[in-house]
Amino acid sequence: MADAKNADFQLNPLIPVDDALGRLLNDVQSYVETEQITLDQALGRVLAEQPVSLVDVPRGDNSSMDGYAVAMASLNKAGPTVLPLSQRIAAGDEPQTLAPMSVARIFTGAEIPAGADAVVMQEKVTVDEQGIHLPADIELQQNIRPKGQDLQMGEQLFAQGKKLQPADLGVLASAGISHVEVFKPLKVAILSTGDELIEPGEEISPGKLYNSNRAMLNALITQMSMQVVDLGKVEDTLEATKAALIQASQSADIIITTGGVSVGDEDHVKSAVDALGKLDLWRIKLKPGKPLAYGKVKGELKDIPIFGLPGNPASALITFCLFARPYMFKLQGGEVTKPLKFKAIAGFDHVKSGTREEYMRGVYEEGTAMRFTNQSSGMLSTASRANGLIVVPVDATFKAGDWIDFIPFSELLK
């Protein structure tokens, strides 16, 4: 058995993180159908079109202040000007053409009347029985938002493949759009391997562990606006694993498993994928998460991609974020971009270099990144308390005060 494992290691050398991600994304074959939905259904969904604005935003020149609209031609060039009030314009009113040698009382968001070309804020104006006293320092177009300043009719708003966020929905609404064409959600089958696992609420006994990966994956996939097909726990046998993968391939667009991808006698996911399809990628130059596996299981109509995530929960979370999530997003029809990575000051020494790229759970605060002392792949609580990952390249060492790379979880889980 040891010789067989050594041979497997030699045939499957560790794959650098960037190379692995590139290979995964190049292998995506997106086939997702589309549907039209209303804006109130569109949060988190991926655009299947390139919407354009139906109107100018704003529709016409409008006031950015409460004040008085005036024509520059009516002003004294040598000093202040006193003019009578000719009309009052609130937001939503249709203004009349500004009478010559007069001002219009105007409120924020109201349309500028024809003939006016400046707005004087009310704090700079004095009103008495003589009229409206205007200052001498008025400038052309001051306090006026021009027509189409935000959006112009026919302007493309977003590219296909964008995941819609709350502000995006506001932009679409301001452009007069009530419905959008989006990709239908992927169906993602999840299953857990490990006879030691029991579900929360069941009575614990020696040798057993509560299944944290199931709840975590369910939440991660739901957060991506995809549909979870939960196939529960699979018995630790090759036949049971194969049967579960066949069921998953018939009910989902992609399969995600946890556990069973290492080289132990009870690790059957890799062998099951080999038997039912093809394993395309295994063993990443990554800490934690080395035994990540990726391949395809033959389905009735098409091959179904499968990610075999490690069973240790911190490894499962990190490999999902770094590999499965961008793959799934592209498979969904989304446009994948690299997560924001920024420089932070190390708040600790890292004196022992490693042979794998390491992603440490840590906390960024006021420019400094601190790691949790225990980086065990079985400790999910540190990921819960962390706000991001500290990226440590292969063979790297550093001291407190050096610059290091930090990726916030907000970038990996958005």
pLDDT confidence of 266, banded at 50, 70, 90?
Answer: low
Q: Which CATH number fits domain 62-145: 2.170.190.11, 3.40.50.2000, 3.20.20.140, 3.30.360.10?
A: 2.170.190.11
The pLDDT, as a whole number, for residue 108 is 98
The pLDDT, as a whole number, for residue 11 is 54
Which CATH superfamily groups domain 342-412?
A: MoeA, C-terminal, domain IV (2.40.340.10)
pLDDT, tens digit, 9 for 90 and up, residues 141-166: 999 999 999 999 999 999 999 999 99
Task: Note whether 412 and 321 are within 8 A (CB).
Answer: yes
How many whole angstroms separate alpha carbon 296 and alpha carbon 274? 9
Region 269-274 average pLDDT: 92
What region does 23 belong to: left with phi over 0, alpha with psi -120 to 50, or beta? alpha
Region 60-87 average pLDDT: 96
Domain with CATH 2.170.190.11 in the chain: 62-145
pTM of model > 0.85? yes
Which strand (E) or helix (H) includes residue 287? strand 286-287
List, in order, residues 6 or more apart from 309 with CB less than 8 Å away.
213, 256, 257, 258, 259, 261, 289, 292, 315, 316, 319, 320, 324
Greatest alpha-carbon span in the chain: 102
Q: What is the topology classification, in CATH, of domain 2-28+185-331?
A: Molybdenum Cofactor Biosythetic Enzyme; Chain A (3.40.980)
pLDDT, tens digit, 9 for 90 and up, residues 356-394: 999 999 999 999 999 999 999 999 999 999 999 999 999
Which CATH superfamily groups domain 35-54+152-182?
A: Molybdopterin biosynthesis moea protein, domain 2 (3.90.105.10)
Average pLDDT in the chain: 94
Region 24-53 average pLDDT: 96
pLDDT, tens digit, 9 for 90 and up, residues 293-315: 999 999 888 999 999 999 999 99
Determine the length of the chain.
Answer: 414
Domain with CATH 3.40.980.10 in the chain: 2-28+185-331
List, in order, residues 6 or more apart from 173 with CB less than 8 Å away.
39
Domain with CATH 3.90.105.10 in the chain: 35-54+152-182
How many whole angstroms separate alpha carbon 271 and alpha carbon 40? 44
Write the DSSP assignment of 83-140 as a string of letters: E-EEEEE-TT--PPPPPTT-EEEE-TTPBPPTT--EEEEGGG-EEETTEEEE-S---T
Residue 1 has pLDDT above 80, yes or no: no
How many whole angstroms separate alpha carbon 256 and alpha carbon 245? 10
pLDDT, tens digit, 9 for 90 and up, residues 179-212: 999 999 999 999 999 889 999 999 999 999 999 9
